[in-house]
Structure 1
Amino acid sequence: MKKAIKLIITIISIIAMYFAFDYFSVTSPKRVKFHQLDEFRQEVLENYNVSEIDMYFSRPILFIEINSEEKLTNEIRNEIIEKLKPIINKTNMDIISEKYWGKDTSLFYVRIYFNEIKENTKIKYLEIELSQSKDYKDWN
């Protein structure tokens, strides 16, 4: 009887660890396709000195990398951020999270990097991290 109870507890523990690992582990990065972000990308690439914008999801984080050959001025960075602010909200992030993760979005984050590309190397010079817990309003 004791062996059976130990076996049941072991099996339940293994199953619980599997689900905990599945829930909290990161995924391999997935390119994000989302209409509003695609429009943002196109507008920024056309109107600013930005060479590429990478958007990918690796749970629980949406990464947006804005890459340019030289550092963007504060004014241009602020203009780009202002264009991005209306897109980064609970409704849109829930849609992206459901599409690429399918889990609880209360753990969801958005990281925005401004990178300068020198000799094929990305040099991060500004990072903004937004969180669901602060309703994506922590744009310091």
Structure 2
Amino acid sequence: MASPSPASPRSRFARAYRAADEEDAANRYFAPQPTSTSDLPDPDVFLRNIARGVMEVFAGVRDVDQLARWLAEDAYRKLVTRSNLAARARSARGQAPQRPVHTIIAVHHSSPRDGVVEGVVVVRGPARTRAIAMRLEGTDGRWRTTSLALL
């Protein structure tokens, strides 16, 4: 039996299959790897620290880039947008950024599946009480905030 010519559909399929297989193998080793909840630190501490950081970003005393390491791209973009709006509002009122005095009242979290935590941090400030809702996912041995909402 003759082998297929380089231009035959069979050989093109074989090359595409090998390329897809090599890409899959590369993703298995080099793409972000999910991490089990048991291999990650306590999410309560992480939720508290991210909430403090978010409140400081909105107050204008912390740069949003300082939190970038712990935020997924979507959450980072939303935080940048909201912090820019807060900075414009402070500028329009003629206010200088001031370090906020916030008290964390409560932290609630649950785990819908292994490696994922959804939590809410209730924060009391001088003017009002707010809630920060977050979704954490374990990736590459650390928590990462994939969703963030300030209510």
- TM-score where L is the length of structure 2: 0.28
Q: Which has the larger radius of gyration?
A: 2
- TM-score where L is the length of structure 1: 0.29
